[in-house]
Amino acid sequence: MYINLVKHKADTGVSYECSEEFISIEGYDVLINGSFYVDDIPMTPLSFLSLYCQYGEYTYQYLDGCGTTYIIDRSQKRIFVFTDFFNSNSFTFYRFVPDGIMLSDNIFRIIDSTRAFEIDEKSAKYFLVNGYVSGGRTLVKDIMKVSPKTYLEIDMNSCEVHIHRCEYKFDKCEVTKFSYSDSFEKCVVSCMQNAHCAALSGGYDSNFIIWNVKGNSSSDNRLNAFCIGGTAGTDETKVAQKIAEYYGNIDLHIGYVSPETLNHLPEIVMALQGQIYEKGIFLQYE
């Protein structure tokens, strides 16, 4: 996916081009990148447009699913980028250029053709200590991303980007412990039944997976697990060691990040197209 906005000289206006995935419908260009539903029916570009025409910039409140949606409103000269609640499917990157702005879900689409880029030193240091990059920054200098719980509005007249905080409205509903737990456990076991490797930390998510795969299973197969700590900041390796010792059939691989780890960042950014979620990626990459 890409959108290029070009601001012409002498105030002659702004033109744009977008990738072929966009569907043109009556003055709008629409793209659904992911899986969304309307009344339990898969959302189509037309049903998404209907939501937008009804709710405008608050469309994100009615998105049920996982992914990112894009709409180019030609009449209002606005572009909106809406994501699911967790922004879990993919990132949308954007970059200001001398004559406009570029957006894409592939970071290299908005890096020059030589794929030469510069690591953002401030973001990289934050990443090594905390395990993620905060806000809308990325590890690549001058390239931003749409953050979770925000939506993007772009003025097509001025190429200005407005970042809005989402205000979600949730209805109270009851999820029984049995149905939730049973479904989740079946999903984990199904996904991990042939797994040979898993992440391990002191958090609930990785422990829930390990318990269902090793502690709640008759399998004697050993599991490779990995955990990465830091010379500064968060270090959960000791907790991971205790968990591995408890089960007795987990081979734990531990690594640490340090200032020298920065040398690997350009290779990792290149391999993962900028979509780096946590610092454990260093051990996975090696």
pLDDT tier at 269 (50, 70, 90 boundaries)? confident
Looking at residue 180, its pLDDT comes to 61
The answer, yes or no, to whether residue 54 has pLDDT greater than 90, is yes
The answer, yes or no, to whether residue 175 has pLDDT greater than 90, is no
* Section 168-189 average pLDDT: 65
Q: Are 60 and 20 in contact (CB under 8 A)?
A: no
Among residues 262, 264, 263, 257, the alpha carbon closest in space to that of 231 is found at 257
Q: Are 93 and 81 in contact (CB under 8 A)?
A: no
* Highest mean pLDDT (candidates 6-10, 31-35, 274-278): 31-35
Looking at residue 152, its pLDDT comes to 95
**% of residues, the chain, pLDDT over 70:** 78
* Section 204-209 average pLDDT: 81
For every residue of the chain, which 3-state class applies, written as one string? CEEEEEECHHHCCEEEEECCCCEEECCEEEEEEEEEEECCEECCHHHHHHHHHHHHHHHHHHCEEEEEEEEEECCCCEEEEEECCCCCCCCCEEEEECCEEEEECCHHHHCCCCCCCCECHHHHHHHHHHCCCCCCECCECCCEECCCCEEEEEECCCCEEEEEECCCCCCCCCCCHHHHHHHHHHHHHHHHCCCCEEECCCCHHHHHHHHHHHHCCCCCCCEEEEEEEECCCCCCHHHHHHHHHHHCCEEEEEEEECHHHHHHHHHHHHHHCCCCCCCCHHHHHC
The answer, yes or no, to whether residue 220 has pLDDT greater than 90, is no
The amino acid present at 165, given as its one-letter code, is R
**Start-to-end Cα distance in the chain:** 30
Looking at residue 281, its pLDDT comes to 64
Looking at residue 121, its pLDDT comes to 84
* Section 189-213 average pLDDT: 77
Q: Pairing mode, if any, of strands 93-97 and 223-230?
A: unpaired
Mean pLDDT of the chain: 81
Looking at residue 103, its pLDDT comes to 94
| Half-sphere CA count of 144, side-chain side, radius 13 A | 15
pLDDT in tens, 85-115: 877 657 899 999 888 999 998 887 888 756 6
Which of the pair, 222 or 270, is modelled with greater confidence?
Answer: 222
Looking at residue 46, its pLDDT comes to 95
Q: Pairing mode, if any, of strands 197-199 and 223-230?
A: parallel
pLDDT tier at 78 (50, 70, 90 boundaries)? very high
* Section 173-187 average pLDDT: 63
* Section 58-81 average pLDDT: 93
CA 191/CA 260 separation, integer angstroms: 35
209 forms bridges with which residues in the sheet?
none
Q: Are 200 and 192 in contact (CB under 8 A)?
A: no
Which of the pair, 247 or 197, is modelled with greater confidence?
Answer: 247
CA 208/CA 239 separation, integer angstroms: 15
